[in-house]
Amino acid sequence: MFAHAAVARAAHLRQCGKFLLLAFAYIETVRNSRENRCMRHRWVCMIFSGLLAAVSAPAAQTSPSAPPQLPPLRRHPVVALTFDDLPAGGGLHPGYTRTGIATQLTSELRAAHLRGVYGFMNGDGVADDPDMQQALRVWLAAGMNIGNHTWSHPALSSETAAQFEHNIAFNEPLLRQYAGKRDWHWFRFPYLEEGATLQQRNDVRAWLHAHGYRIAEVTLNFNDDDWDDPYGRCLAKDDTASIAWLRQSYMENAAEFIRLGRETEQLAFGHEIPAVLLLHETSFTTLMLPSLLHLLRQEGFRFASLPKVEHNPAYSLNPNIGLPNGDSFPDAFLDAHKSGYPSFRPEPVQRLNSICQ
Ligand SMILES: [Zn+2]
């Protein structure tokens, strides 16, 4: 469970780019018909093309939402994987247990030589559920870490700062019990909501700082958990064709939003920074993790721990903005500067909602 930054971005694009989209749609229509005519009237077409370029270029440059030109992406970017909603991310689908998910996920991480990966825990329900307790033990025994994700996963925008801080503190005895001497003082905001107002943001940050926490920011996020409920429905119907589409669309969405996140880092900081990827401990992300790791390696990514990544000075910067909806770390800087976002292909929300219903 986390912020839907893509929705906020889509709204932003809708507001800023409506006129541009209409203009481009018109130009594309003219271009398509022009291509047909070009077959017959080459010279007339060339003159028309020149005029069209002259008309369309200034429109793109004067758009308030048009982002600047971006440099090429790094050949070997760095990323820390993180998993939210331990030990019960997503629904428990047919044939799955919490312990089974944790066992499979940690074996995939260890097969990729990844240790010390942070999973952010909500303690609510753990005391009454031996399966959740065992899942936590499996996670830690495999050499992974846990951090605080609040007790019951509230949205900060619907709480007072004091209520939210109480919810964080209420999670601490369980963290202490399971993590022992390991450093569990890393905090991930549910829904990536860091404060609806600047005052609320500053209040909670001051509390976290006073209690020894570092904030586990997120720079890369592709809403991986949106595939988990559809997966559960398709699994119950034994619909293998739909599950194949879920796998394919998950990877396409991951590739698109990882590219978007990297470009957003460039816009926010002038260059890519060591990244933090938000994932969820769901059965579907567990199923897809080997493919996802393959994609990241293909893109040249190298893996590092969360503390090492956030050692980068960029993580000491603060956009100093209250946001009613959650946003990633670089997105918050673009929001603060009212900068345009890179273009992106949105998540297939409608099909995810309707598939296997
Ligand atoms: Zn969460």
Question: Do 283 and 332 fall into the same domain?
Answer: yes
The answer to whether residue 194 is domain-embedded is: yes
Dist. CA 44 → ligand 1 center (Å)? 59
The answer to whether residue 351 is domain-embedded is: no
Domain of 142, CATH number, reads 3.20.20.370
Dist. CA 84 → ligand 1 center (Å)? 5
- For residues 2 and 278, the answer to whether their CB atoms sit within 8 Å is yes
Question: Do 82 and 165 fall into the same domain?
Answer: yes
Q: Tell me the sheet residues that pair with 120.
A: 84, 147
Q: What is the largest CA-CA distance in the chain?
A: 78
The answer to whether residue 35 is domain-embedded is: yes
The answer to whether residue 92 is domain-embedded is: yes
Q: Write out the chain's pLDDT in tens, 357 residues.
A: 444 444 444 444 434 333 333 333 333 333 333 333 333 333 333 333 333 333 333 333 333 455 567 888 999 999 999 999 999 999 999 899 999 999 999 999 999 999 999 999 999 999 999 999 999 999 999 999 999 999 999 999 999 999 999 999 999 999 999 999 999 999 999 999 999 999 999 999 999 999 999 999 999 999 999 999 999 999 999 999 999 999 999 999 999 999 999 999 999 999 999 999 999 999 999 999 999 999 999 999 999 999 999 999 999 999 999 999 999 999 999 999 988 889 999 999 999 999 999
Q: How far is CA 93 from CA 234, 282, 355, in A?
A: 10, 10, 16
The answer to whether residue 345 is domain-embedded is: no
Give per-residue pLDDT as tens, 285-342: 999 999 999 999 999 999 999 999 999 999 999 999 999 999 999 999 999 998 888 9
The total of structural domains in the chain comes to 2
Question: Do 168 and 228 fall into the same domain?
Answer: yes
Dist. CA 149 → ligand 1 center (Å)? 7
* pTM more than 0.75: yes
Dist. CA 279 → ligand 1 center (Å)? 9
Would you tell me how many other CB atoms lie within 10 Å of the CB of residue 12? 17
Question: Which value, to the nearest 10 degrees, does the dihedral of the CA atoms of residues 154, 155, 161, 165 take?
Answer: 30
Question: Do 117 and 252 fall into the same domain?
Answer: yes
The answer to whether residue 318 is domain-embedded is: yes
Q: Tell me the sheet residues that pair with 24.
A: none
Dist. CA 152 → ligand 1 center (Å)? 9
Print the domain residue range for 16: 5-62
Dist. CA 270 → ligand 1 center (Å)? 29
DSSP string across 215-242: E---SEE--GGGGHHHHHHHHHTT-HHH
Dist. CA 357 → ligand 1 center (Å)? 25
Question: Do 9 and 111 fall into the same domain?
Answer: no
Dist. CA 19 → ligand 1 center (Å)? 36
Within the chain, residue ranges assigned H as helices are: 5-38, 42-62, 98-111, 130-141, 161-170, 172-179, 198-210, 228-236, 240-269, 283-298, 306-309, 329-337, 349-354
Dist. CA 45 → ligand 1 center (Å)? 55
